[in-house]
Amino acid sequence: MNIELTSADRAFRDEVRTFLATSLPPDIKRRVENGLELGREDYASWHRILYEKGWVAPGWPVDHGGTGWTPMQRYLYDEETAAASAPRIMPFGVNMVGPVIFTFGNSAQKDHYLPRILSGEDWWCQGYSEPGAGSDLANLRTRAVRDGDVYVVNGQKTWTTSAQWADHIFCLVRTDPDAAKPQQGISFLLIDMRSPGIEVKPIITIDGGHEVNDVFFEDVRVPVENLVGEENRGWTYAKFLLSFERAGIADVGRSKKQLAGLKRIAAAELSNGRPLSEDDRFREKIASLEIDLLALEYTELRALSRQTSGKEPGTEANILKIRGTEIQQRITELALEAVGTYANPYVPEALKDGWNEEPIGPEYAAGVAPRYFNWRKASIYGGSNEIQKGIVAKLVLEL
């Protein structure tokens, strides 16, 4: 056993660092660094750069365009991109539908969709949740009825992240309403967002942002060749995909970056004439959070080490999701405490690049409260933390 990185891993990390230093566009980096809004084009151009480098889909098999990295290399890569303030790669294509297609899709689907996901030509969104089917996803009602060589889709999806930007949506739809169990009558369909009968309506979140949407389907005609795998087997594919979604959600690298930002705020804020970072009580709060993050990091590293030695990933994905999101939320909470009364001003323009009026209060303050409010989502999405605990209780503890 050895806590040091191997020299090969260190060399890999240096390679990633050098690449990031030379290839990440400075204006995008600045926006990420300062918590400013990112537009579709920011994500798209970074995606293209990674695509050209061949690094856009490290988790994919090499023959589909993956990198062939070890789990440790992937971990280091995630950590370095977060540290460099690179934007995240939108997960819906690369991390979600891509793996479903290369695992369960037919060769026509693989040939058509996978290269377009890699190149960034196609943007995807995830149509799982519905008003009546959140935690209880199997309760979904959106219907797909076979009519010759199309499915006719009717229903509503909700909370669909970046539907306003997407070219395609992958949907769970009900194809057999009479199946013995609700999980059994579900299919996995790929739907073009430009199909007639689709309407996207924004949902504004508590911070005033627009990242999620309602998506309505009225007699949307979807070619049968857009069915992934077998009809009525969609639940299997959906669960496969969820395990991918949860793994990335710990986001240790990004939390390290945010923690560093919190420390900078604490050093700039004053308490009785001294930096807040020197206030014993506040220091202890940060220290305690940092210990939480170390525990998360080493839990993830242990999981990686097991994976490297060929063992099946266990339920650590659930644990990483629970603790990862709690830590992300705690960082936003302490930042809120640190900025004090300057959490109050609501200046959404200040979060747009190019706003060059004098800031209200310290420059870093504008995004702090919106971020705290917005980040409440982290314990809700991707399977709420209550649901994660339920899974661990059932599958690990066998309660």
Ligand X SMILES: Cc1cc2nc3c(=O)[nH]c(=O)nc-3n(C[C@H](O)[C@H](O)[C@H](O)COP(=O)(O)OP(=O)(O)OC[C@H]3O[C@@H](n4cnc5c(N)ncnc54)[C@H](O)[C@@H]3O)c2cc1C
Given the rule CB under 8 A, which residues bind other proteins?
A: 129, 132, 134-136, 139, 158-159, 203-206, 208, 212, 269-273, 276, 281-282, 333, 336-337, 340-347, 360-362, 369-370, 372-374, 376-377, 379-381, 384, 386, 389
CB of 159 vs other proteins, minimal distance in Å: 5
Give the span between the Cα atoms of 279 and 384, in whole angstroms.
35
280-308 and 71-83 helices, crossing angle to 10°: 150
Please state, as a whole number, how many other Cβ atoms lie within 10 Å of the Cβ of residue 116: 15
Looking at 245, 269, 316, 337, which residue is catalytic?
Answer: 245
Give the span between the Cα atoms of 381 and 379, in whole angstroms.
6
Give the span between the Cα atoms of 193 and 200, in whole angstroms.
9
Does 210 help bind ligand X (rule: CB under 6 A)?
no
What is the pattern of x (binds ligand X, CB under 6 A) and - over residues 70-109?
Answer: ----------------------------------------
Q: Which does 361 bind (CB under 5 to 8 A by kind): ligand X, other proteins, none?
A: other proteins
Give the span between the Cα atoms of 218 and 281, in whole angstroms.
57
φ, ψ dihedrals at 382, nearest 5°? 65, 25
# residues contacting ligand X (CB under 6 A): 18
Contact 286, 279 (CB under 8 A): no
Does 390 help bind ligand X (rule: CB under 6 A)?
yes
Does 387 help bind ligand X (rule: CB under 6 A)?
yes
Give the span between the Cα atoms of 377 and 384, in whole angstroms.
9
Which residue of 159, 165, 170, 375 would you call a contact of ligand X, by CB under 6 A?
A: 159
Give the span between the Cα atoms of 99 and 126, in whole angstroms.
13
The answer to whether residue 245 is catalytic is: yes
Nearer to ligand X, 115 or 390 (CB): 390
Which residue of 134, 229, 248, 370 would you call a contact of ligand X, by CB under 6 A?
A: 134
CB of 175 vs ligand X, minimal distance in Å: 18
Token pair 């809004």 is at which residue? Answer: 37
Structure tokens at 68: 């062939």
CB of 386 vs ligand X, minimal distance in Å: 3
Q: Which residues neighbour 306 within 8 Å (Cβ) at sequence distance 6 or greater? A: 313, 314
Token pair 């995830």 is at which residue? Answer: 126
What is the pattern of x (binds ligand X, CB under 6 A) and - over residues 353-382?
Answer: ------------------------x--xx-
Residues forming contacts to ligand X in the complex (CB under 6 A) are: 125-129, 134-135, 159-161, 212, 377, 380-381, 384, 386-387, 390
Would you name the residues annotated as active-site residues? 245
